[in-house]
Structure 1
């Protein structure tokens, strides 16, 4: 068991120069580790450089390092999924010279963030049936259509949703993004844009050999607001009427000050 702990410590030391540590003031708001270390004989051991991404006023995005070790050579697939929600996709059409929304589709269970990286192209690592079952890869994502009425081209709306998420930097797929430091040690960096929503994420790691999953591990990841941003967010949720009143008064005060300064100039 101590050998496994030394291995994880070695990986952490390798990762330290590559990823900046979170600010000392960033504290996990109920974000506790929900799983213990892998058994000593586990064929796969993984961890994250940090389990908390703190969003502050100067947050512009960050990279998070995932590292691990395997017992024997194999292929690695890393999938990071964000919290799910409902999304609406609208299609606009030209009507009398105006672009108006003519059709729409509503999907449930849409991950707010989705990233997948692997040692090789997914088709060379695992069969399509396995990838589809685990929803690995952008092409394997399945959203539940919950819109009213019948939309004949639901699949086109689903692809449009994935493309839009990709434009926003929230969905991305990388081939060869997992780097091996030797025959058994590996690491990969996951990029999170500034628009990544708060919530609980899951980092899934799969070890695959001969078209079969040999081992898999899932680690929690939390993105949370910190500092004054979190206090304002909590205030808006706990006392929405008072928050709205303060917002209106602040806007009126800012307008009055601007008018005074312009009058003096």
Structure 2
């Protein structure tokens, strides 16, 4: 059923592509869903990105979550215990980053093009706000990327974009269970002869819904009250458990 819907959509897209030569770099893109709803039982999901081009070319897709400041801490062993020591803070760090391409990116375009358009993890401009050396900044940055990859929020390698013909293409964007909420920006680049021929940007919203959304909203609006209620619930749960085990 999903494949039928996809084929119907790309058929409509290809029909809307202009025929004039002046529109030779036309790029049309859409998503199967512009909203990822995080409910209580959310375990992750895939969103289909599909599109069409007027003439042949390479496609690169980047997905970037909302930016925020992130702290990276260095652990050191002290008296047999690992403790946090020095740290570095980076700003403009995406809470999620993924990419996809139909061929290896270094074949599609040179490093200067990829750097100018911030394509690929190595070209993301994380700005260190901590006064550290260039060598330490590189080490902390690599640790930050590694940590985000370990929790599934940075993809380790680009996903595959499949061309169904010379014009129609598709790829799946995976969002894990721990995907942060917010507005995500999806950029699709059409590249010919190593140069950007066209760019399309489409937003995608990741939002909590249902009971989890109400709890999340309450916790942020009334954090002190939420903390008190959480403590009370924990105390009551502990008391009930102790009574049950005592009777047993």
Which structure 2 residue ranges, 5 or more long, are not aligned? 9-15
Aligned to 2:130: 147
Aligned to 1:34: none
Instruction: Identify the structure with the greater helix proportion.
Output: 2
TM-score, scaled relative to structure 1: 0.82
The answer on 1:74 being equivalent to 2:57 is yes
Contact 1:66-1:187 at 8 Å conserved across structures: yes
Q: 2:6 aligns with which of 2, 14, 20?
A: 14
Q: 1:63 aligns with which of 46, 51, 63?
A: 46
Secondary structure, aligned partner of 1:115: strand
Secondary structure, aligned partner of 1:247: helix
**Equivalences for 1:170-249 in 2 at 5 Å?**
170-175=153-158, 177-249=160-232
Deviations 1:116-175 (A, max 9, x none): 110111111111111011111122122001014546421121111111111111111545
Residue 176 of structure 1, CA deviation:
6.3
Which shows bigger deviation, 94-103 or 179-188? 94-103
Contact 2:159-2:171 at 8 Å conserved across structures: no
Aligned to 1:6: none
Deviations 1:88-112 (A, max 9, x none): 1122233443333333211101101
Distance 1:91 1:176, change over 3 A: closer
TM-score, scaled relative to structure 2: 0.87
Aligned to 1:103: 86
Q: Distance in 2 between matches of 1:233 and 1:96?
A: 40
Superposition RMSD in Å? 2.1
Aligned length in residues: 234
Contact 1:49-1:66 at 8 Å conserved across structures: yes
Aligned to 1:29: none
Q: Distance in 2 between matches of 1:14 and 1:171?
A: 26
Contact 2:99-2:159 at 8 Å conserved across structures: no
Q: 1:137 aligns with which of 120, 133, 136?
A: 120
